Structure formats: structure tokens, C-alpha cells
């Protein structure tokens, strides 16, 4: 990757301006989306359907805000004093981060469909879902930490990158055990498909989070 040092130094110097502030705001909006899914899952586990639907409504608002911030951030990056290739690398990172929110939103849609179809989900299925989403929230928080320290404290960025990768491996394992429980549970076909879709959406959101730090890792390793 060309001029990696210049790009990282440029990003590090952008603290307090529109790019650095926008990147953090975007990441926090993504975290809001994921956090609302966590609240929705907890509400469903407690059979509080109305509370879950309110979480879904807030999730949609947070996802729209993440999209708006993404648009403004892309404009700021395009106007930066880095090369065309470097701009593309930064834009790719921002768009990967938005995929985390997109797939979390898809998980929320599955929850809404569970409510609208009136299917019955056993409590033993919601419990591993609660664990899975809590690990995803932590993974996104570690992604935010990596982004916040990019260019200014690269040792801390590297530690956060490894933490995200650890979380992704944990979620992969939870995905396996949860899918097994779903397939073995006494549920009708619609319930099975909706819960399987929910798990896959959360797992894909986790994969998108790891894809973000994979891009960061390439930058960090290329600088050495």
C-alpha cells in the first residue's frame, strides 16, 4: 500500500477535526444500532414484546443516523490531503464499518418478524442469543478503540485489533452451539428459519467488524 506512513500520520493529525470526529461519531452510531438489538433480545427473552418493538424503532433511527454520518464522513475524506489510493482505503474502511450496522439491523428485522408472525421461541434459544449479542457489543467497542487510537497510539490500536479478532472467534463458537440448539429445538418451520436468520445476521455483523480491523492490520503491518 502506497504512502502508508503518510496516511496514518494524516489520520492521527485529524483529531478534533471533521474526519476524526466523524469517524468516532459513525462508530458510536454503529454501536447504538448493535446495543438496541441487545436490548431487543433481552426484552424478547423476558416476553416483553412491546419493549422489544420500541428497541427496534430506536435501532432503525440509529441506523439512519449512521448512514447520514457515513455520507458526511466520506465527503470529508474525499476532501482530505491524501492520495487517491489512500482515500479509497479510508473510504473502504468506513463502508466496512457500516456493514456492521447493516447486518445488525437485519437481525432486528428478524426479531420484528418473530413478533409479527406470533411464533413461539423457547427460552433456551434466547439465552445464547443474549450472550452472542453481548459479545458483539464488546467487539464493536474494541473496534471503536482501535479507530480512536489510529495514527496516534498504534500500540493501543494493535491491542484493540487483537481484541476484536478474539471476540470474533468467540462469536463463531457461540454461533455453532446456538445453531445446533435451534435445529434441535421444538419449533415450527417459521420459527426455525427466523431464529436461524437472526443468528446468521449477528454472526455476519461480527465478521464485518473483524473485516474492519483486518484493514487496520494491513495498514499497521505495512508501516513496519
Domain range summary for the chain, segments of one domain joined by +: 4-223
pLDDT at 13 over 60: no
Query: What is the model's pLDDT at position 148?
Result: 83
Q: For cell 479478532, name the residue.
A: 165
Q: What's the mean pLDDT in 39-60? A: 96
* pLDDT confidence tier of residue 1, bands split at 50, 70 and 90: very low
Least confident of 23-32, 46-55, 98-107, 147-156: 147-156
Query: What is the model's pLDDT at position 74?
Result: 80
Backbone angles phi, psi at 151, to 5 degrees: 85, -15
Nearest-CA neighbor of 10 among 96, 85, 97, 98?
85
Homologous superfamily of the 4-223 domain (CATH)? Phosphate transport system protein phou homolog 2; domain 2 (1.20.58.220)
Q: Cell numbers at residue 171, please?
A: 462469536
| Average pLDDT over the chain, rounded to an integer | 85
**Selected residue with higher pLDDT from 216 and 83:** 216
Any long-range contacts for 43-51 (C-beta under 8 Å, 24+ apart)? Answer: 44/111, 44/114, 44/121, 44/126, 45/123, 45/126, 45/127, 45/129, 45/130, 49/115
Distance between CA 195 and CA 218 in Å, rounded? Answer: 35
Beta strands in 17-150 (DSSP E): none
Query: What's the pLDDT tens digit per position in 108-130?
Result: 999 999 999 999 999 889 999 99
User: What are the b/e assignments for 38-52, b being 16+ CB within 10 Å?
Assistant: bbbbbbbbeeeeeeb
Provide the percentage of residues in the chain whose pLDDT is more than 70: 84
**Selected residue with higher pLDDT from 222 and 189:** 189
Amino acid at each position: 500500500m502506497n504512502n502508508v506512513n503518510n496516511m496514518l500520520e494524516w489520520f492521527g493529525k485529524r483529531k478534533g477535526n471533521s474526519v476524526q470526529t466523524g469517524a468516532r461519531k459513525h462508530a458510536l452510531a454503529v454501536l447504538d444500532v448493535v446495543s438496541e438489538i441487545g436490548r431487543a433480545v433481552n426484552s424478547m427473552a423476558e416476553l416483553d414484546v412491546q419493549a422489544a418493538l420500541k428497541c427496534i424503532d430506536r435501532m432503525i433511527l440509529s441506523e439512519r443516523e449512521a448512514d447520514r454520518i457515513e455520507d458526511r464522513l466520506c465527503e470529508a475524506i474525499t476532501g482530505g490531503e491524501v492520495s487517491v489510493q489512500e482515500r479509497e482505503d479510508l473510504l473502504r474502511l468506513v463502508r466496512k464499518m457500516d456493514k456492521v450496522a447493516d447486518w445488525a439491523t437485519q437481525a432486528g428485522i428478524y426479531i420484528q418478524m418473530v413478533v409479527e408472525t406470533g411464533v413461539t421461541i423457547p427460552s433456551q434459544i434466547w439465552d445464547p442469543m443474549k450472550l452472542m449479542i453481548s459479545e458483539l457489543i464488546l467487539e464493536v467497542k474494541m473496534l471503536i478503540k482501535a479507530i480512536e487510537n489510529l495514527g496516534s497510539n498504534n500500540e493501543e490500536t494493535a491491542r484493540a485489533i487483537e481484541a476484536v479478532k478474539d471476540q470474533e472467534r468467540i462469536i463463531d463458537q457461540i454461533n455453532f452451539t446456538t445453531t445446533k440448539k435451534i435445529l434441535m429445538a421444538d419449533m415450527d418451520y417459521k420459527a426455525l428459519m427466523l431464529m436461524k436468520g437472526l443468528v446468521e445476521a449477528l454472526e455476519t455483523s461480527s465478521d464485518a467488524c473483524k473485516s474492519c480491523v483486518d484493514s487496520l492490520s494491513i495498514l499497521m503491518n505495512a508501516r513496519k
